[in-house]
Amino acid sequence: MNRWDHARQLLRIGRRAETGERLPVEPFRASSGAPGPRSVRCRSLCIASGKGGTGKSSLTAAVADILRLKGKTLLLDADLGCANAHIFHDVHPERSFADVVAGDRAVHEIVTPCSDGLDLLPGGSGVGRLAGLREYELEMIGRGLGRIEAGYEFLLVDSAAGLSRQTVAFAAACDRTVLVTTPDVTAMTDAYAFLKVFVRQCAAAGVPRELPLLVVNRATSDQEARDVGDRLREVTRKFLDQRLEVLGWIPDDRAVFRCTQRRRSVVSGEPESAVAQALEQIVARLLDQLQEREGLGAGWRLEEMSTGPRATRRA
Ligand SMILES: Nc1ncnc2c1ncn2[C@@H]1O[C@H](COP(=O)(O)OP(=O)(O)OP(=O)(O)O)[C@@H](O)[C@H]1O
Ligand SMILES: [Mg+2]
């Protein structure tokens, strides 16, 4: 069986044959033509960074706790194989993308309820192969996501660190991406590297996207955050000829650590903290940005990012 046949089989079957139980998911539409938005209204947002440990998961968890009060939210843990989004919502998922990639479950079968208005697609833990999915596996995830995202108001993606094709594909699949850096020069360097790869990968896939919005995390003053924003804005203008927008900054605050230890986001654990207050303001600005345009989800774009435009592939 070649890998596309394998993909088709995974798309058709909810559970693996060896369980003796075949649960057909929605019918697979072979060669249905180019993927498209199919009237999705879900607004999708990815939180990414070049360097690891900048605070993506802590911030995503807090943003999820803000968004779920505004509309039904689906949190996708795209740190596949090293997932920890579930920790901040104190759930213990039985299924994850590891089961989807193994062909044991369809995407809709791993949806894990977290709290009122918030569901999680768990990333799976300790499965190294998930960090480097094959293109048909990413396409399969995109297609499965496309089937459920219209049932949500918001899709929030907690990205893995780094510049892998898969990581950048998740970011580029969303309506908007937030790029997190800290004032650390290594984090800033990697943030710029992310922007560069993001722009290139989107252009190569024929899916032009808006540049990510910058958030400076763990800043110790307004001036420090401003300096970080100015420096990144300047290199982006000079070398990518694009305007980088700074969405805001978040103070360095031990509250984040305390809440994580209690398996809570800082918004639910310490809503009065400076971090939670800063996040409320950042999310308000983000919602303004998202509401300016139609919500197109992320599933169909993930399909497209993983395969390239169909017309090109056929050519
Ligand atoms: N604003 C903040 N103030 C203080 N500590 C913070 C802040 N944001 C994040 N941290 C701390 O930084 C560390 C890394 O956070 P987190 O796991 O959210 O980063 P990440 O970018 O998701 O990491 P990875 O790249 O490994 O997925 C944690 O110890 C967290 O408590
Ligand atoms: Mg993380």
User: Reduced to 3 states, what is the DSSP secondary structure of residue 1?
Assistant: coil
Q: Measured between alpha carbons, how far is 164 from 161 in angstroms, rounded to an integer?
A: 9
Q: Inform me whether the pLDDT recorded for 290 exceeds 50.
A: yes
- 3-class SS of residue 44: strand
305 vs 187 pLDDT, higher one: 187
* Residues 215, 218, 222, 224, Cα dihedral to 10°: -100
Residue 29 has pLDDT above 90, yes or no: no
Q: Does residue 218 form part of some domain? A: yes
- pLDDT at residue number 208: 82
Would 262 be classed as within a structural domain?
Answer: yes
pLDDT confidence of 17, banded at 50, 70, 90? very low
Residues 157, 285: Cα–Cα separation, whole Å: 18
Ligand 1 pocket: which of 51, 54, 58, 249 to mutate (most atoms within 8 A of CB) = 58
Quote the ligand 1 centre to 257 CA distance (angstroms).
8
Tell me which ligand sits closest to the C-alpha of residue 178.
Answer: 1
For residue range 170-217, list pLDDT tens digits in order: 999 999 999 999 999 999 999 999 999 999 999 988 888 899 999 999
Ligand 1: nearest atom to the Cα of 53: 23
Domain count across the chain: 1
Q: Is residue 32 part of a domain?
A: no
- Other beta carbons within 10 angstroms of residue 130's beta carbon come to 25
75-123 pLDDT tens trace: 999 999 999 999 999 999 999 999 999 999 999 999 999 999 999 999 9
- CATH number of the structural domain spanning residue 216: 3.40.50.300
User: Does the Cβ of 265 fall within 6 Å of ligand 1?
Assistant: no
Q: Is residue 24 part of a domain?
A: no
Report yes or no on 20 lying in a domain: no
Residue 105 located in a structural domain: yes
Q: Is residue 5 part of a domain?
A: no
The domain of 279 spans 39-309
pLDDT of residue 309: 52
Distance CA 71, CA 48 (A): 22
72 pLDDT tier (thresholds 50, 70, 90): very high
The residues near 296 (Cβ < 8 Å, ≥ 6 apart) are 37, 40, 42, 44, 175
- Spatial distance between the Cα atoms of 68 and 73, rounded to a whole number of angstroms: 5
In a domain, 25, yes or no: no
> Ligand 1 within 6 A of 184 CB?
no
Of 3, 31, 37, nearest in space to 138 by CA: 3
Beta carbon of 275 within 6 Å of any ligand 1 atom: yes
Angle at alpha carbon of residue 39, lines to 242 and 26, rounded to 5°: 120
pTM of the entire predicted model:
0.89
